Structure 1
């Protein structure tokens, strides 16, 4: 529960499953009205019914492909007609495909950047004018530990999440005097259907099964920090130590860690 969310309008992209759906439920439990976006309208309708059966809040669902900028503009125009303003935007939509650069498809690389980076930026731009006018708001960007710590076989995915972190850090400074919070979330591997696409062979999941984060735990930590001045949420905390070690001793880290990191 987060009492700061009571009566707020919260937009969540990629809300049809995984941590997106879990965050939607927690926001609604905290008294927020939720606007849920995803490509699967059927799944959103099911989630909408689940939320309305449990909590006395308004729930609005819209089909949105975050890789389509023109669709983002049209859908957010409808959102702003429906709820008048957005208090919180959680940019959760994203996907990855793990492959070595030699075998990576350029169309997959473009799709990852269109969704993970350009789509996130486009959604953010749609809510910024209203937030700046009200001098209030919170933008939460779901990045990845891969955005801080690049690993073999996830070069393009890591690059897209590095871009998300660069954008987020710059945006935070731009909005520092505007009363708008900006938070980056950098989780390690989470038990969701993300790996159905990212790791078709299942080797990565098998290798790191014991280190997988619970989607419930991640959602709870993110929602609990909304409307606080939180720069980053790194999960699990011990995994972030790898980033610190890499920053201080990059050559040693790459030499020692390469074998373990190739488990994808």
Structure 2
């Protein structure tokens, strides 16, 4: 794969301050993209921003935004901010931000936990994609990636709101892919990274040894491929990495 397959593209990565989001953002930058880093921690965002600049990649943008409390009008304002910063250019989104509480029996889980997991894992990707859709439609080649989880397809005990919200994310992807079928340049897919050394995986699978997991850097190139024109024509898929 060419090292500059994302040259001249502008890619938004949520959850870009750590873990999978950070690694994917760096991989996109190395592939030539101008990356919009988004997360709620300003300090962590600045660290990733500085690392990308030092590596000689295109200078990214950094936006501090808390999706757990954001309302519809705030997503619209965010889209306006992105449009003003990039001149209205946006060629893709990688929805890497994710929210996980803990594994527990259903009777221990709270409504608040379910609501927050749905807000970050399902509602926020929908709201952000909807708000930025005019820019994506204007792009000559646009890709939206939702980061899935195995329990979103195969429900198991104790996964509760997290598994349910990821299952809804799969549904969102299918709906988007069907609605965009008439747009040859616009696609949506779910990528499921599986067992990787990320903060969320360590929290959700505490008994798993580090050597049992893939390094995050191993799956990042596949995100680059799915953001590139090489994946054109592939839409509505759930892909296990």
Equivalent in 159, 171, 175 of residue 170 of structure 1: 175
Please name the residue that 2:75 is paired with.
Answer: 72
Please name the residue that 2:124 is paired with.
Answer: 119
C-alpha distance in structure 2 between counterparts of 1:141 and 1:16, whole Å: 17
Greater fraction of residues in helix: 1
5+ residue gaps, structure 1, are: 236-264
Quote how far apart the aligned CAs of 1:220 are: 2.1
5+ residue gaps, structure 2, are: none
* C-alpha distance after superposition, 1:97-145 (max 9, x if no partner): 2221110121111100011111010110122112223453111111111
Q: Are 1:234 and 2:240 counterparts?
A: yes
Q: Which has the larger radius of gyration?
A: 1
Q: Is the 8 A contact 2:22 2:48 kept in 1?
A: yes
* TM-score, length basis structure 1: 0.81
Quote how far apart the aligned CAs of 1:208 are: 6.1
- Using a 3 Å threshold, how does the CA distance of structure 1 residues 126 and 171 change in structure 2: closer, same or farther? same
Q: Kindly tell me the number of residue pairs found equivalent between the two proteins.
A: 230
C-alpha distance in structure 2 between counterparts of 1:165 and 1:19, whole Å: 19
* C-alpha distance after superposition, 1:13-64 (max 9, x if no partner): 0000001110111111111101000000111111111101112412110101
What's the RMSD between the two structures over aligned residues?
A: 1.8
1:1-264 to 2 correspondences below 5 Å: 2-67=3-68, 68-69=70-71, 70-84=73-87, 85-97=89-101, 98-134=103-139, 136-178=141-183, 179-195=185-201, 198-199=203-204, 204-207=205-208, 209=210, 211-227=212-228, 228-229=231-232, 230=234, 231-235=237-241
Quote how far apart the aligned CAs of 1:149 are: 1.2
C-alpha distance in structure 1 between counterparts of 2:210 and 2:57, whole Å: 37
SS of the residue aligned with 2:207?
helix
C-alpha distance in structure 1 between counterparts of 2:138 and 2:57, whole Å: 28
